[in-house]
């Protein structure tokens, strides 16, 4: 189809110093959990984005020197010439598809614990390192500053030799030394690098000038700068020193990449911020510089993108998470099919990969991180190798993705859903506070299925063993989901809690189903992900007195990995939800609960009319087990392949369910072996 002319402006070329970007789509620097440990996987992932139409593709942070060692994080390294070949793989993959390759050079100062190099970290002034390690960074001397400038220059030259087109000077978060020198919170110096803003910005200026002198003839020099730390007068602000720094250095770089600090503000989840939320901080930048400006805001709507350009907010549409959810977002707009975009839901599961030191994953895009390991492509999938018809039972995230991917391969698929709604847990959870955008997981797949004549979808179709055997499909996939336990068994209590289940005990399923619940309520969260906090917020919004009890020291601890934990706990406390940490639920009675301190065992009591247990789930696998137990009946019915996927197999995140559905569709006609099902990048042993 032809491109909508309203979006033509997004495909105009833009000059960046000596270079020209083919359009306005710019994948800003973002981590991947792969980096130097998985360079082939890193290169393939970035190359797929270039194939998908992004004009500029950036690395994640790239450490310039071992005195800024951020192990165990697997981000990029450029310590010496031996690191060039791994990074060159990415530059080559990006160039293969006509895009520009950018690299974000950084030294993390006191944010780098130097756990590997074991040298004292560097900082503008004497200060403890950011992590709770009992380590303190030392104040940099003039010699240290001169060395830093030399290291940065050498890294820029190596980056050029690796094939990169755009070289970053990084001050985009308080993770980097240039930003720490600018910040009065970090910089307490009294020499020419401290005191006035001009002095505190001196190192930033020098690094930009050094980089331009070293590589400026061939490469563009970009800066990433956080114009606001969202700390008010105690930090850098867009109407204060953030603006002054941009005005001071306005024409020095070839491109301004602007954002807010720190990471949990820059990559806020959809639960707390909407698309384009950074505009209120970054819109001034184009008013004070003639250089092109890129910014982010979890942009998924082409209309919003056009508005950003036409209103003079940005020159480039920057994206990290939307480029992960759909690497082909630009192509789909260019080809006149924006309805095919897999829109980012802002859940930050991608971030959780980096935070857990593993290759990233995505709820919407199950192929991310698997481009090289399994040779999965987000827009290409092998055609079917048989005429088998497939029955998929359950239209939750696993069943929907399984049916969609099988249909794309050309299989004839029947998707049977027991209820009258599609989406399973996605539909139910997306009705909870802040999670509305999660419905995109369902909506994308339902819209794709609606255009596949080879896929039939039946609602209100609860199937029994007899039904399945009568149908006689050669392939049957069970994706019937899971349900929350009512007995309290979970991570802390491995046996049922005394007093459960009882008439005053409820589960997350009850809350989401709208079952009437009387207050006051004790919600026991032994799951530690997002749902306990969301349900407490939901119950509080119904006017109930709620106390959230957790055995851990913080609410929703796992959401540290999605950059939400602080926001979740502060929001609950501000809403009047009581929080009892380090307490286990030991007994339930009609009038309340007994708690025990996890350290001392000291007992306490909370009076409550209702108890909501958020502990663990059980798979709804009865249909699968009944079919699996009778191979003879399956054979008589012509069922040659039976599989259980998603939460019905092993309850986990929505992202895991989508991945399971996709993997089955990809691999259902491949032979089963004991071989490792993916490629590994092994360390080469050299003398």
The torsion defined by the Cα of 614, 619, 622 and 623, in degrees rounded to 10, comes to 130
Measured in residues, the chain has a length of 687
Burial class (CB in 10 A: 0-12, 13-18, 19+), 271: buried
Rounded Cα distance between 142 and 6, Å, is 54
Rounded Cα distance between 581 and 598, Å, is 9
Q: Angle of helix 565-574 relative to helix 531-541, nearest 10 degrees?
A: 20
Which CA distances in Å does 22 have to 12, 14, 57, 229?
7, 7, 12, 32
For the chain, the C-alpha Rg in angstroms (whole number) is: 27
Q: Structure tokens of 295?
A: 């910014």
Q: Which of 36, 170, 659, 664 is catalytic?
A: 170
Q: Which of 107, 152, 173, 662 is catalytic?
A: 173
Rounded Cα distance between 296 and 395, Å, is 34
664 catalytic? Reply is: no
Cβ of 173: how many Cβ atoms within 10 Å?
23
Sequence-distant (≥ 6) Cβ neighbours of residue 72 within 8 angstroms: 115, 357
* Nearest C-alpha neighbor of 261 from the set 298, 226, 224: 226
The torsion defined by the Cα of 432, 438, 442 and 447, in degrees rounded to 10, comes to 120
Rounded Cα distance between 312 and 672, Å, is 55
170 catalytic? Reply is: yes
Partners of 475 in the β-ladder: 390, 641
Sequence-distant (≥ 6) Cβ neighbours of residue 613 within 8 angstroms: 484, 485, 486, 487, 488, 497, 500, 505, 506, 507, 524, 526, 585
Phi-psi region of 198 (alpha: psi -120 to 50; beta: other; left: phi over 0): alpha
Rounded Cα distance between 555 and 574, Å, is 14
The torsion defined by the Cα of 602, 540, 441 and 489, in degrees rounded to 10, comes to 30
* Nearest C-alpha neighbor of 493 from the set 588, 622, 609: 588
Q: Which of 165, 174, 228, 266 is catalytic?
A: 266
Q: Which of 31, 219, 362, 668 is catalytic?
A: 31
Sequence-distant (≥ 6) Cβ neighbours of residue 491 within 8 angstroms: 526, 527, 528, 551, 615, 616
Active site residues: 31, 170, 173, 266
């Amino acid at each position: 189809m032809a491109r909508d002319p309203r979006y033509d402006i997004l495909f105009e070329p833009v000059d960046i110093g000596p270079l020209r970007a083919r359009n306005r789509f710019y994948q800003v620097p973002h981590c991947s959990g792969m980096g130097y440990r998985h360079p082939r996987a890193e290169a393939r992932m970035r190359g797929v984005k270039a194939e998908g139409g992004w004009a500029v593709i950036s690395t994640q942070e790239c450490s310039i020197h071992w005195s800024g060692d951020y192990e165990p994080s697997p981000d990029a390294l450029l310590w010496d010439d031996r690191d060039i070949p791994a990074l060159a793989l990415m530059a080559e993959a990006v160039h293969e598809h006509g895009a520009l390759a950018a690299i974000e050079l950084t030294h993390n100062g006191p944010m780098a614990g130097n756990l590997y190099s074991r040298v004292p970290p560097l900082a503008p002034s004497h200060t403890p390192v950011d992590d709770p390690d009992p380590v303190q960074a030392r104040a940099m001397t003039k010699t240290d500053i001169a060395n830093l400038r030399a290291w940065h220059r050498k890294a820029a030259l190596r980056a050029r030799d690796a094939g990169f087109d755009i070289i970053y000077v990084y001050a985009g978060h308080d993770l980097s030394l240039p930003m720490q020198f600018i910040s009065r919170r970090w910089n307490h110096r009294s020499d020419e690098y401290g005191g006035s803003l001009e002095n505190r910005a001196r190192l930033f200026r020098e690094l930009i000038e050094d980089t331009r002198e070293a590589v400026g003839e061939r490469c563009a020099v970009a800066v990433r700068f956080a114009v606001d730390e969202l700390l008010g007068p105690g930090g850098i602000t867009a109407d204060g020193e953030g603006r002054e720094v941009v005005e001071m250095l306005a024409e020095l770089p070839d491109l301004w990449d602007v954002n807010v600090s720190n990471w949990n503000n820059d990559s806020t989840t959809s639960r707390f911020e909407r698309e384009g939320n950074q505009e209120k901080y970054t819109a001034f930048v184009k008013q004070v510089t003639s250089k092109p400006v890129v910014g982010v805001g979890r942009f998924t709507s082409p209309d919003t993108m056009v508005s950003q350009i036409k209103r003079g907010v940005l020159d480039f549409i920057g994206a990290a998470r939307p480029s992960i959810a759909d690497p082909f977002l630009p192509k789909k707009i260019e080809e006149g099919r924006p309805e095919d975009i897999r829109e980012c839901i802002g859940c930050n599961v991608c971030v959780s990969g980096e935070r857990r030191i593993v290759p990233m994953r995505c709820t919407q895009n199950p192929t991310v991180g698997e481009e090289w390991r399994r040779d999965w492509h987000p827009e290409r999938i092998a055609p079917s190798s048989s005429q088998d018809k497939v029955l998929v039972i359950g239209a939750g995230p696993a069943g929907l993705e399984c049916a969609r991917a099988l249909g794309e391969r050309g299989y004839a698929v029947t998707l049977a859903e027991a209820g009258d709604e599609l989406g399973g847990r996605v539909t139910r959870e997306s009705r909870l506070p802040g999670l509305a955008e999660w419905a995109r997981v369902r909506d994308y797949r339902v819209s794709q299925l609606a255009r596949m004549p080879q896929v039939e979808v039946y609602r209100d179709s609860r199937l029994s063993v007899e039904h399945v055997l009568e149908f006689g499909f050669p392939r049957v996939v069970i994706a019937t989901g899971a349900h929350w336990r009512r007995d309290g068994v979970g991570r802390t209590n491995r046996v049922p809690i005394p007093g459960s289940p009882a008439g005053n005990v409820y589960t997350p399923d009850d809350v989401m189903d709208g079952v009437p619940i009387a207050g006051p309520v004790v919600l026991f969260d032994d799951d530690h992900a997002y749902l306990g906090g969301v349900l407490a917020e939901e119950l509080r919004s119904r006017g109930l007195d709620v106390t959230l009890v957790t055995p851990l020291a913080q609410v929703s601890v796992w959401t540290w990995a999605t950059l939400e934990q602080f926001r979740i706990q502060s929001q609950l406390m501000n809403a009047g939800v009581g929080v009892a940490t380090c307490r286990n639920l030991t007994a339930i009675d009609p009038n309340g609960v007994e708690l025990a301190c996890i350290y001392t065992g000291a007992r306490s009591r909370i009076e409550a009319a209702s108890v909501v247990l958020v502990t663990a789930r059980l798979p709804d696998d009865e249909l699968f087990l009944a079919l699996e137990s009778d191979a003879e009946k399956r054979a008589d019915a012509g069922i040659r392949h039976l599989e259980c996927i998603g939460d019905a197999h092993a309850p986990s995140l929505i992202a895991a369910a989508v991945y399971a559905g996709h993997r089955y569709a990809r691999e259902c006609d491949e032979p089963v072996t004991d071989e490792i099902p993916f490629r590994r990048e092994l360390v080469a042993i050299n003398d």
